[in-house]
Structure 1
Amino acid sequence: MLAAGHRTQTGVEETRARIINAARELFEARGTRGTTTREVAERAGVNEATLFRHFGSKRALLDAMREASCGIDELRSTIASLSGTDVRADLRVLARQSVEHMLAKRAMMCVSLAEEAAGTDDAPEWRGPSQIVDELVAYFTARIAAGQMRGDALVLARCFLGTFFSYVVGRKIWGSGAIADPAAIDAIVDVFLNGACV
């Protein structure tokens, strides 16, 4: 039996997850400047000292929340499951997953973009998007080496991800709702491939 004051790793992770989820809900609803750490702690069912013990600062909490929302593990799993023999089919799977993930995390993306626009200079680099690009670069590098695609893998990865980011943002601007249109996603993949396939 654990003595008082000793926390299990599972308990620590559960507490962190509750705090991150509470922060996400409040930051998405009111922004980071309109939300106090006390409110986040109350929503998570912990005291403010616990929040600071886990994250140290509101900035560190925001950074942890952003990292948790990037979906890198899901992307890695999806890439590992791809055949690699049918690039069009692979990219359709990747595009649909990326769009669904971005739509589900759109509010978090908006919070992050607002923070970036506010010019917070002390914010560390958000590793999530760069990790996603790295995974796509590895995929495109393998397809280029197999003679299935052409071009610079980094440029291809950025264009692919950027195109679908624009699609998600554009759907909100154009009033197209929060449901991805598979036919539109497939058409975008086809346009992308017209410039990248051999």
Structure 2
Amino acid sequence: MEQNAQETRDKILTAAISLMKEKGYKGMTTRAIAKEAGVNESTIFRHFVNKQGILDALVDRYSYVPGIHQVFDSLTGELQSDLILVARTYQEFMEHNGEMVLIGLRETGHFPELDEKTAAIPIQLKELLIGYLSRMYEKGAIERTDLEAAAMTFIWMNLGFFMSASLYGQKITSVKVEDFLRYGVGTFAQGLLKER
């Protein structure tokens, strides 16, 4: 795609995120997006066909956790440091894509295709975590446990930290990401380890 066309596309998507955050998907119009992006409404239709096309492009852009498979491929088998690395990657992704994550949560139940694509992130992470924890169990490193429940607890803990910080700042807690990783994820990992 030509540089100017990509820049225009990016401006439209940025404007759409801003308006969706403020008004929700239904409250956002292509006319308002065009005004916010500084383009003609026909430019939006040329790039995305319609408002649904914009939503699809946003979901495609933000629903992929870059490098998550590479992170899992690089794990060493040391439970605590491995889980801290996975949690750090998750927190970085959420921080970078926070607005779209919050929009996805806000619009849950209104658009099945959005629900499906936003659910793909935790589903992919859950499957990778279950595989990792299964290997750790087979090596005798962790106690026998419900691996899906453990994976989901890890995901919920990370999502909860992100949501708390994103929605409330320091009103609930002043715990920083590094402390959450060290103590929160560290404590979680210790709970899984097999007693020796």
Q: TM-score, normalised by structure 1?
A: 0.73
Q: Aligned match of 2:93 in 91, 98, 101?
A: 101
1:197 aligns with 2:189: no
Conserved? CA contact 2:130–2:147, under 8 Å: yes
1:51 aligns with 2:70: no
Deviation at 1:67, TM superposition (A): 3.5
Aligned to 1:72: 65
Q: Aligned match of 1:160 in 138, 154, 162?
A: 154
Q: How many residues align?
A: 188
Q: Aligned match of 1:141 in 119, 131, 134?
A: 134
For structure 2, list consecutive stretches of 5 or more residues without a partner in the other structure.
none
1:31-82 Cα distance to aligned partner (Å, 9 max, x none): 3233212332454465444534544442342243134223412322322332
Conserved? CA contact 2:65–2:93, under 8 Å: no
Aligned to 2:110: 120
Structure 1 residues 12 and 136, CA, compared in 2 at 3 Å: closer, same or farther?
farther
Aligned to 1:5: none
Conserved? CA contact 2:12–2:33, under 8 Å: yes
Deviation at 1:93, TM superposition (A): 1.4
Distance 2:141 2:184 in 1: 18
Conserved? CA contact 1:70–1:129, under 8 Å: no
Aligned to 2:79: 87
Structure 1 residues 61 and 156, CA, compared in 2 at 3 Å: closer, same or farther?
farther
* Aligned-residue CA RMSD (Å): 3.1
Structure with the largest fraction of helix: 2
Aligned to 2:171: 175
Deviation at 1:189, TM superposition (A): 1.2
